[in-house]
Amino acid sequence: MKIRALVPVLLVSVGTMALAAAQSSREPMSQGEYVPRLGDIMAGKQWRHIKLWFAGRQRNWDLAAYELAQIKASLADAATLYSNIPVSDVTVMSAPIQSINKAIESKDGVSFAKAFSDLTAGCNSCHREMGREFITIQVPAVSPFSDQLFALPKQ
């Protein structure tokens, strides 16, 4: 099976964060229409990473599930648009993504925090593997989204 065909299949099944190496200098596969730079796609994912954390910490599981789905969708876009993303980087994030999903489904804050930490470590592992060790992601300490309420509204 060709790697190009394998990448989207793997992304759909594992919903990986492993593409977070900011490779904005790589050429996109499509030359006929606007294609966002990979670095821009990854920056968007970084915002989702932050929102996912705060949604999970506030036990807003619907919002956490939404943010995780957005991360998966944009990663699939990145894999479709960029041909030079290594398959090994795609598969390394399978366990953390599955763990986060399981924690969200079971509404388990402790498991969520552990899985999120593993996800973050996986992002940094990918960055190092891609020669982008200068991009280090961490569990967010403060939300830059002062205009968004992450806790569920009181009824």
Q: 47-56, 108-117, 119-128, 133-142: which range is least confident on average?
A: 119-128
Residue 103's pLDDT is 98
Residue 123 lies in a domain: yes
Instruction: Provide the domain count of the chain.
Output: 1
Write the pLDDT tens digit of every residue in 66-84.
999 998 887 777 777 877 7
pLDDT, mean over the chain = 79
Query: How far is CA 7 from each of CA 47, 49, 116, 121, rounded to the nearest angstrom?
Result: 23, 21, 23, 21
Query: Is 105 inside a domain boundary?
Result: yes
Q: pLDDT by residue (tens digit) across 5-62? A: 434 433 443 333 333 333 334 455 445 788 899 889 889 999 999 999 999 999 999 9
Domain extent at residue 53: 36-141
- Indicate whether 19 belongs to any domain: no
45 occurs within a structural domain: yes
pLDDT at 75: 74
**Domain CATH number, residue 102:** 1.20.120
- Give the pLDDT mean for 125-147: 90
